[in-house]
């Protein structure tokens, strides 16, 4: 897949950088953009070929066959990227929800007299979700020789969301200005909890819209069939016997 994607990646160098950001947000750190591009090319060829073969075997008209094949090609090209972005979106939403818990742990350990790096290390050990993975990766980069500011900047590049942006900015500014990180984290915890509440409220507001599709296309047709079929069947039988 990587070799196949390399053939198309050379033509779109700018798009590869954007794709790399999506891959990092999805947590697929070892996956190359060329690999994702290769899967997109393969899915395009497979769906387009299968649609064309099925239409030709079924005897579709040339216009219908052309439209269906184009639809299959478009779905194969967009589908993998759509799934990747959906995974990245779910992961970043979970990071935003978990961040207040991390900040609370940092506040407790910092006020106990532990240094910031050690507090971040201990707090990350108690985190099991994607945020814990990101913090552990940040600490690993720092232990390998990268400065903490650079490691936090890399964290922001991987998870460019408002809550992480505020978290990284607060730490860097507090170190630059000599302000107590514990106090900064305590003030930031309140803002993060408000942000988490907003995310949960947004999801609750979107729930009726998400329920509309299964309700309209799965539940209502079956319900109407159950309710109307006996009457329609009796009507047809009556008209047939009368005729």
Rounded CA-CA distance 116/110 in Å is: 7
Answer yes or no: are the C-beta atoms of 155 and 143 closer than 8 Å. Answer: no
The tally of CA atoms less than 13 A away on the side-chain side of residue 234 is 4
Cβ–Cβ contacts within 10 Å for residue 221, how many? 10
Question: Exposed (0-12), middle (13-18) or buried (19+): which is 225, by Cβ within 10 Å?
Answer: exposed
Give 86-134 pLDDT, tens digit per residue.
999 999 988 888 888 888 888 888 888 888 888 888 888 888 889 989 9
CATH of 94-200, one of 2.160.20, 1.10.4160, 1.20.81, 3.40.630: 1.20.81
The tally of CA atoms less than 13 A away on the side-chain side of residue 149 is 6
Residues of the chain with pLDDT > 70, as a percent, come to: 93
- The model's pTM is 0.74
For the chain, the straight-line distance linking the first and the last C-alpha, in angstroms and rounded, comes to 66
Give 1-23 pLDDT, tens digit per residue.
667 666 666 656 556 778 888 88
DSSP classification of residue 29: T
DSSP classification of residue 129: S
Angle at 136 between CA 132 and CA 138, to 5 degrees: 115
Answer yes or no: are the C-beta atoms of 180 and 174 closer than 8 Å. Answer: yes
Q: What are the sequence ranges of the domains in the chain?
A: 2-90, 94-200
Using pLDDT thresholds of 50, 70 and 90, give the confidence band for residue 173. confident
- For residue 86, the model assigns a pLDDT of 92
The residue ranking higher by pLDDT, 134 or 239, is 134
Residue 34: CB partners within 8 Å, gap ≥ 6?
Answer: 1, 2, 3, 5, 6, 9, 16
- For residue 243, the model assigns a pLDDT of 55
Answer yes or no: are the C-beta atoms of 148 and 121 closer than 8 Å. Answer: no
- For residue 91, the model assigns a pLDDT of 92
Give 36-69 pLDDT, tens digit per residue.
888 888 898 899 899 889 888 888 888 888 888 8
């Amino acid at each position: 897949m990587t070799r196949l994607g390399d053939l198309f990646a050379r033509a779109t160098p700018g798009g590869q950088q954007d794709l790399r950001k999506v891959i990092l947000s999805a947590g697929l750190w070892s996956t190359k953009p060329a690999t994702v591009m290769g899967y997109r090319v393969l899915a395009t060829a497979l769906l387009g070929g299968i649609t064309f073969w099925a239409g030709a075997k079924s005897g579709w008209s040339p216009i219908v066959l052309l439209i269906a094949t184009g639809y299959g090609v478009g779905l194969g090209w967009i589908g993998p990227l759509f799934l990747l972005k959906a995974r990245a979106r779910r992961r970043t939403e979970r990071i935003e929800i978990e961040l207040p818990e991390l900040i609370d742990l940092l506040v407790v350990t910092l006020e106990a007299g532990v240094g910031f790096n050690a507090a971040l290390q201990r707090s990350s050990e108690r985190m099991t979700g994607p945020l814990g993975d990101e913090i552990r990766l940040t600490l690993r980069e720092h232990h390998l020789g990268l400065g903490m500011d650079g490691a936090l900047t890399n964290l922001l590049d991987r998870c460019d969301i408002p809550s992480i942006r505020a978290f990284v900015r607060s730490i860097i500014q507090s170190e630059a200005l000599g302000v107590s990180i514990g106090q900064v984290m305590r003030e930031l915890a309140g803002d993060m909890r408000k942000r988490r509440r907003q995310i949960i409220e947004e999801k609750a507001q979107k729930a009726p819209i998400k329920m509309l599709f299964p309700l309209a296309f799965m539940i209502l047709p079956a319900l109407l069939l159950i309710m109307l079929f006996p009457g329609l069947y009796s009507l047809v039988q009556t008209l047939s016997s009368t005729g």
